[in-house]
Amino acid sequence: MSNMAAEIRAKAAEYKNYTAQLLSELVQIKSYSSQEQDVCARITEMCREAGFDTVRTDALGSVIASIGKGPKMIVFDGHIDTVEVGERKNWQLDPFSGLIKDGKIHGRGSADQKGGAASMIAAGRILKELAYAGQYTVLFTFTVMEEDCDGMCWKYLIEEEKIEPDFWVSTEPTSCQLYRGHRGRMEIQCTFRGISSHGSAPERGVSAAYKVARAALAIEKLNESLQPDEDNFLGKGTAVVSQIVVNGPSQCAVPDYGMLYIDRRLTWGETAESAIQQVKDVMGEDVEVVEMPKYVKKGYKNFDYGQELYFPTWKIEENHPLVQGGIDAYRALYQKAPNVDKWTFSTNGVSVCGRHKIPAIGFGPGDEAQAHAPNEFNRTEDLEICAAFYANLVYQMDNIN
């Protein structure tokens, strides 16, 4: 182990309880998507207390902190909004308890993904105490509205604020494994029209309900026919009907309107255009409109910004300098290589790497399976590992470049 890696690992161990307390406090602050103002205010204070060089909030509400003034930029990103609790009776503890017990921190957002945010703050404190002055400006972004519209926060930062990192690291949960991509996704809305008639004489009308039913079965068959990517790294795309709405003049009438909503996961080589055409092809003349909706919800700053609900697939090769830098940074700390894999779900990487082709990897505390689940938890050990990894990766990339 190098002297620097040893020092970083020692500091991460020293700050293990500190990092766990950070996460506990963050979990206790409710922060559903577009309602993150309280947790953002506290993260701003935490970053200042940890000694970050700069801390500010952008127009959408994301907190952006930095250390160092190098000509290049590496970013560590963690979204700090969460999904809602769901059925309360499924939780054994208060979802916002932040309880630390037996090496775990409990509560909504502990894994997805305030754990990454807590490790980022600890890593920033370590870098600051080591007086990092290398070739990177190290940016830590605590981003909003990811659960509602993954990547939009980074679409704004890149396209409007002109922040273009050389390298980008997601701190979404990976069980402390190194991830280098995931499938993309999109949302598709299909509209169906019929002709109403009295329910006592359905033959006089044309039922939109039956059109929707045939279309739903067609999507089931489409899902079965989808194929994996060429090297089978990301796996096959999927298509699932997530919502159906049927309306008519009354409950005693043939319905004349139908809507079917599709969650479409995209593997390498699949695009929004190809996915929409597939839907049109399998539904035929039954469907009137097949379109990609737009996200229009405003955040806590009431700022008007949105995008289409398309989130491109992304991956980088295992021999990429960022992946190899991550492997070397982990090995320097723990004398073994990390497992290299990919996420099942989607992250802000859809914008950074998928849309804007900026090299990205993922490394985060906690398990992907905990995301959106009741009784969510993270491990204090994972927080320590990730804090050390983030700090050491910065020094490792200095060596590579």
Gyration radius (Cα) of the chain, Å: 23
Is residue 401 very low, low, confident or very high in pLDDT (cuts 50, 70, 90)?
low
Name the maximum alpha-carbon separation found in the chain. 84
Asked whether the bond before 396 is cis by omega within 30 degrees of 0, the reply is no
Q: Which residues pair with 99 in a beta bridge?
A: none
CA distance 59 to 32: 18
**Mean pLDDT, all residues of the chain:** 97
Annotated active-site residue in 36, 58, 81, 187: 81
Average pLDDT rounded to a whole number, residues 343-368 = 98
CA distances, 370 to each of 84, 122, 247, 379 (Å): 14, 22, 37, 11
On the question of pLDDT at 72 being above 70, the answer is: yes
CA distance 81 to 69: 29
Output phi, psi for 153, to 5 deg.
-60, -40
Average pLDDT rounded to a whole number, residues 251-263 = 97
Average pLDDT rounded to a whole number, residues 164-185 = 98
pLDDT value of position 336: 97
On the question of pLDDT at 1 being above 70, the answer is: no
Q: Answer whether 346's CB lies under 8 Å from 182's CB.
A: yes
Which stretches does DSSP call E strand in 177-309?
A: 178-179, 181-182, 184-193, 238-247, 257-266, 289-291, 294-295, 307-308
What CATH architecture does domain 185-295 belong to? 2-Layer Sandwich (3.30)
Q: Which residues have C-beta within 8 Å of that of residue 192, sequence separation ≥ 6?
A: 208, 211, 212, 215, 257, 258, 259, 260, 286, 287, 288
pTM passes above 0.75: yes
On the question of pLDDT at 284 being above 80, the answer is: yes
- Triad 359, 362, 364: Cα angle to 5°: 155
CA distance 178 to 334: 14
Nearest residue to 203 (alpha-carbon basis) of 255, 254, 248, 246: 254
Which stretches does DSSP call E strand in 268-323?
A: 289-291, 294-295, 307-308, 310-311, 314-315
In one letter, which amino acid is 99?
Answer: L
Annotated active-site residue in 146, 229, 368, 384: 146
Residues carrying CATH 3.30.70.360, the chain: 185-295
Q: How many CA atoms lie within 13 A of 135 on its CB side?
A: 10
On the question of pLDDT at 14 being above 70, the answer is: yes
Q: What is the DSSP letter of 2?
A: -
pLDDT value of position 297: 86
pLDDT value of position 296: 85
CATH superfamily ID and name for 3-182+313-400 = Zn peptidases (3.40.630.10)
pLDDT value of position 313: 98
Nearest residue to 150 (alpha-carbon basis) of 83, 53, 217, 56: 83
Please confirm, yes or no, whether 273 is among the known catalytic residues: no
Tell me the per-residue pLDDT of 362-371, one tens digit each, with 9 for 90 and over: 999 999 999 9
Tell me the per-residue pLDDT of 139-155, one tens digit each, with 9 for 90 and over: 999 999 999 999 999 99
Tell me the per-residue pLDDT of 29-53, one tens digit each, with 9 for 90 and over: 999 999 999 999 999 999 999 999 9
Tell me the per-residue pLDDT of 287-313, one tens digit each, with 9 for 90 and over: 999 999 999 889 999 998 999 999 999
Please confirm, yes or no, whether 160 is among the known catalytic residues: no
pLDDT value of position 400: 80
The Cβ of residue 117 has, within 10 Å, a number of other Cβ atoms equal to 29
